[in-house]
Structure 1
């Protein structure tokens, strides 16, 4: 079977995974696990899928790839089909941040347990909720990317670590949580366009006392951070 192609956001996820046993939660057709094994980025994968159609597609994909010995397909919701301590890292891609956060909150002791256990998350909307979860759950932001597509797709690599997350040092917290501390440090066209578009959109509706007023202020702060990086 030819090596499956991935879109730009999943290619970015792929590049952030290097592990022994990896779980892909909500794996859809299991293209990511197949690529992980084919490229030697993982020695074994567990693909978890709850929806019957994609679940069957994932099983067929693994059989066609002749990777049954290295990729196991499990039916279930989130981390529920995994045993505590069974995986070293996990990915959650292509879902809303609220859904991903709920899966992580319910995972409990099934989350990858060993320092520096890694989570690679790719929400289809703002990663704000996931950054907030990470700060409260003992994960640091190690890598952030913003992939241009139908809309900008954030990709984060989170790692278990002790103490305060150094990624946030020297960056205004509200702006960092909304747009990403490492993305603001790095700058670039995609993050600049996102912030500028937010300012245009929010300027039409923002008024004192509304949440949109605070969001507009946060966007302007983020744009100022990018401007300081360019100077």
Structure 2
């Protein structure tokens, strides 16, 4: 019996948020996530998109070794450029900076972005949350995965109108820390918010960016304080 590809905890969290027909993994590197999607039946078909020659060759080798070349197509290219309009039902981008992910999303041509996106940035996801609000996507799920640092995982669904996830929360704090995460008030997020308050307090002064960030952290601390 063929053994499943092993994923780290952050990619397991991405996998758990996907159940789709055709999935595109952007900047896939080793293609482990698409391999597991096919092996577990969470996707019928996958498209791996990779820009760099080394990771592209690695993805091709891994797919061939798994005997899944009939189900996983490898394409060379930048971001969503190799995809056709309405070709994929979902897409993932993992292991990049949030700013880089937001740029990739902004550069996608109209009609190419699928209705479901699962994104795992390596830093603060605020640029992704801002993009989602500006681009007609609702934030439906968020998780923080403990690792070298806390890894955020976000699931976005295309939907018209204001995103109800932000209702009743201080907006800047929700963009910075995540509306669902603030409501859950988990220990990883609480530790991060408290660390931000300690770090920013001596730096804050009227007119400084640090003051705005401190205000958001203190608002977030009040939100989670009501829930713990």
CA offset digits 1:20-76 (Å, max 9, x no partner): 000000000000000000001000000100111111010000001000110001010
Relative to the length of structure 1, the TM-score reads 0.96
Quote the residue 1:228 is aligned against: 226
Unaligned runs of 5+ in 2: none
Quote the residue 2:74 is aligned against: 73
Quote the residue 1:37 is aligned against: 38
Residue-pair matches, total: 226
Structure 2 SS opposite 1:4: coil
CA offset digits 1:96-141 (Å, max 9, x no partner): 11110111011122111xxxx2000111110000000000000000
Structure 1 residue 162 corresponds to structure 2 residue 160: yes
Say what the alpha-carbon RMSD is for the aligned residues. 0.9
Alignment of 1:203-214 (within 5 A): 203-214=201-212
Structure 1 residue 149 corresponds to structure 2 residue 150: no
Relative to the length of structure 2, the TM-score reads 0.97
Quote the residue 1:185 is aligned against: 183
Deviation at 1:18, TM superposition (A): 0.5
For structure 1, which segment, 97-106 or 198-207, has the greater mean C-alpha deviation from structure 2 after superposition? 198-207
Structure 1 residue 20 corresponds to structure 2 residue 21: yes
Deviation at 1:201, TM superposition (A): 1.1
- Alpha-carbon distance in 2 for matches of 1:25, 1:139: 18
- Alpha-carbon distance in 2 for matches of 1:2, 1:196: 42
Quote the residue 1:173 is aligned against: 171
Deviation at 1:229, TM superposition (A): 1.5
- Alpha-carbon distance in 2 for matches of 1:189, 1:137: 31
Structure 2 SS opposite 1:110: coil
CA offset digits 1:135-193 (Å, max 9, x no partner): 00000000000111111111100000011111011111011000000000111111101
Unaligned runs of 5+ in 1: none
- Alpha-carbon distance in 1 for matches of 2:176, 2:123: 11
Structure 2 SS opposite 1:105: helix
